[in-house]
Amino acid sequence: MEIMNSETEKPSSDDSSSTSNSQSQRRVGILYDERMCKHSTPDGDHHPENPNRIRAIWNKLQIARIPQRCVVLNAKEAEDRFILNVHSKKHVNLIKNISSKEFDSRRNKIAAKFNSIYFNEGSSESAYLAAGSVVDVAERVAKGELNSAFAIVRPPGHHAEHNEAMGFCLHNNVAIATSFLLNERRELGIKKILIVDWDVHHGNGTQKMFWKDSRVLFFSVHRHEFGTFYPANDDGFYTMIGEGPGAGYNINVPWENGRCGDADYLAVWDHILIPVAKEFNPDIIIISAGFDAAVGDPLGGCRVTPYGYSVMLKKLMNFAQGKIVLALEGGYNLDSIANSVLACMQVLLENKPINGSSEAYPFESTWRVIQAVRQGLKVFWPTLADELPTTLISQTAPVPNILFLSSDSEVEDDNGAQASEDLEEVLQGIIQPLSNLKVDEDHQDKDNNAYNPWRSELSKIDVWYASFGSNMWKPRFLCYVEGGQVEGMQRPCTGSFDKTPPKEILWRTYPHRLFFGRESSSSWGPGGVAFLNPKSKIQDKAHLCLYRITLEQFNDILCQENVRSYSMTSPLFDLDDLISVASNESNSRELQMGGWYSNVVYLGKEEDIPILTMTCMNSDMESFKSGKHPIVAPCKAYMNTLVRGLVEGGQFSEEEAMAYIQEATKKPL
């Protein structure tokens, strides 16, 4: 792969015919370095945050001859002294040394202590290059050497906190660059910075680092769903507005549901971000440019098109004399992320959006969130004080109820394999197809194809799914197979592709600790839900209901429990995973999905058929023990479901079942 190392190259005159003279002279930087591909899973397992993400982007840009029109830069490693402006010394030392031979034997154990993190021999170098690269391009744009720039970096950064790597993020690249400009290069005259985080997940790390800083206006639009979407807390709610001098300078726009698209995002731009940006008048804008809200992303479940991203970016170019730095964050569909970055690069080079249109209306929930954000911030930003016209907010798109399912981990299914033809018709009314984006439409058609080759293979393999929570009651479990809901559930399940009921049902006890945690769930209201300690202890005893189903069905249940949006063009847990987990000493496989039940644990065999359950990650288990995650008794509706399962399964009388649950609730971990 050839990379142009031409920091002095100007845009080619070959392109001048398609733009004005001033536009053709725009100096746009682009940074890519293959060395950042060294960060990968230690055992070669598939992971959504993998080196192919930036390779796909770079390949797309090369095909479009974008590098020939840009100043192409290689990566530079960040200096510890600049990283220490936002991260603790303990954190810096860990990331700096984690790839050394000294950590070879314990690297995986250390990673398991964090939330959705992996390390390998290339992680340290990649993390330092990612942070240093964003610092470098930000400094060049601030100096005026470049009009704007895009840093195609990984690992991403916006989840990384002062003393903790999390959510695929090691160093907080954008926060490091922001602090660098404000504190280390004051002579450049950068006194106010607008950070726009359009990644589908809340930028919790960046928010905390500038919580009390009025020099930084942090804006994040993200799926939140009342704290159930990753990172699954209240930090991203619209009431989190900053503190002290920073009060009002932290703006969160939390989506209440998935499927948000161009119309939703542009409504937020027009009625929150752009008016506030005019008042704030930033000296430079840094975008945490995650593209996991894009059409087809397996984790995001939103519907932003490349055209939508191009319009969002163009609106921001009207500020700070067009001084904009984009730093790659998330985005896990290779086609979508490549097309979206290409659209953004075309905007930077040509100062106009790509061709396209968006005729859809925002969801009703979008207007509700916009109004709540404006109401909470109007005391800080007078431009938000006016009420939005009724004629405007009454123009809404319907939310297809069929998308919502109910699970203990409170995730929403975005699985095209389970969507009905009626749903497809509804979606056509929400997202208007764009004639110039055939690649994305074709990809979506493939994603929405119910049949995939892996299903045929895994439908021939039986497993026992061992349930310890609400699924112990058969009618509740069948919601995951056949679809629907039972009493006490507030949302229906979509069901599995194969709706065949279980072939057999057994009850067994295992030496694992049952407990209840998390403060609330949208399915059952306030109260904890059931978890099983992934590690066995001889003194513990848990009753589990075993359902004999296919490995294909197990994948659909695993998806409904954990993944808010997944195309299911490939399984979450395949035959190789099954063989590995059955022979691995740890007897478990942690899937990096962000759900509450993303740890598949192997419990042995029954009738020579593997027994699998799904519970919390080992890192979550430590958080429950330390009190970081709360231990909470279940609510009445949830408890009644557990009791019915245990009683109808012949394990206990009603009184004994209540005592069993109460003991699990009160006994310390």
Residue type, 529: V
- The tens digit of pLDDT for each residue in 538-579 reads 999 999 999 999 999 999 999 888 865 555 677 889 998 898
Q: How many CB atoms lie within 10 A of CB 387?
A: 9
CA distance linking residue 458 with residue 554, whole number of Å: 9
C-beta separation of 630 from 640 below 8 A = no
Of 199, 305, 298, 294, which Cα lies nearest the Cα of 252? 199
- The tens digit of pLDDT for each residue in 52-66 reads 999 999 999 999 999
C-beta separation of 135 from 78 below 8 A = yes
Span 425-435, average pLDDT = 30
State yes or no: pLDDT of 220 exceeds 80. Answer: yes
State yes or no: pLDDT of 437 exceeds 50. Answer: no
- The tens digit of pLDDT for each residue in 226-263 reads 888 999 889 999 999 999 999 999 999 999 988 999 99
Q: Would you state the pLDDT for residue 490? A: 66
Tokens representing 320? 């700070």
> Which residues 6+ apart lie within 8 Å of 69 measured at CB?
11, 12, 15, 28, 349
State yes or no: pLDDT of 445 exceeds 70. Answer: no
CA distance linking residue 357 with residue 355, whole number of Å: 7
Asked if 159 is an active-site residue, the reply is yes
CA distance linking residue 137 with residue 154, whole number of Å: 15
CA distance linking residue 128 with residue 105, whole number of Å: 22
State yes or no: pLDDT of 430 exceeds 70. Answer: no
Q: Sorting pLDDT into bands at 50, 70 and 90, what band is 172?
A: very high
CA distance linking residue 547 with residue 558, whole number of Å: 14
To the nearest whole number, what is the mean pLDDT of the chain? 87
C-beta separation of 100 from 124 below 8 A = yes
Q: How many CB atoms lie within 10 A of CB 509?
A: 11
Burial classification of residue 398, based on how many CB atoms lie within 10 Å of its CB (0-12 exposed, 13-18 middle, 19 or more buried): exposed
Cis peptide before 155 (omega within 30 of 0): yes
Q: Would you state the pLDDT for residue 398? A: 74
C-beta separation of 331 from 57 below 8 A = no
State yes or no: pLDDT of 371 exceeds 60. Answer: yes
> Which residues 6+ apart lie within 8 Å of 665 measured at CB?
515, 516, 528, 633, 634
CA distance linking residue 151 with residue 551, whole number of Å: 41
- The tens digit of pLDDT for each residue in 646-666 reads 999 999 999 999 999 999 998
Q: Would you state the pLDDT for residue 399? A: 54
Of 325, 319, 283, which Cα lies nearest the Cα of 30? 325
Q: Which residue of the set 159, 202, 271, 543 is catalytic?
A: 159
Q: Would you state the pLDDT for residue 17? A: 32
State yes or no: pLDDT of 426 exceeds 50. Answer: no
**Got the DSSP string for 562-626?**
H-SS---SS-SS-HHHHHHHHHSTT-EEE--S-STT-EEEEEEEETTEEEEEEE--HHHHHHHHH
State yes or no: pLDDT of 439 exceeds 60. Answer: no
C-beta separation of 484 from 491 below 8 A = no
- The tens digit of pLDDT for each residue in 469-503 reads 999 999 999 999 988 888 887 677 778 889 999 99
Span 290-296, average pLDDT = 96
Q: How many angstroms separate the Cα of 642 from the Cα of each of 167, 519, 656?
A: 32, 18, 12
Q: Would you state the pLDDT for residue 416? A: 33
State yes or no: pLDDT of 322 exceeds 70. Answer: yes
Q: Sorting pLDDT into bands at 50, 70 and 90, what band is 43?
A: confident
- 437: three-class secondary structure by DSSP: coil
**Partners of 505 in beta bridges:** 547
- The tens digit of pLDDT for each residue in 78-129 reads 999 999 999 999 999 999 999 999 999 999 999 999 999 999 999 999 999 9
> Which residues 6+ apart lie within 8 Å of 40 measured at CB?
47, 50, 51, 120, 122
Q: Sorting pLDDT into bands at 50, 70 and 90, what band is 427?
A: very low
**Partners of 148 in beta bridges:** 28, 324
Span 308-315, average pLDDT = 97
- 138: three-class secondary structure by DSSP: helix
C-beta separation of 208 from 161 below 8 A = yes
State yes or no: pLDDT of 48 exceeds 90. Answer: yes
State yes or no: pLDDT of 432 exceeds 80. Answer: no
Q: Would you state the pLDDT for residue 483? A: 85
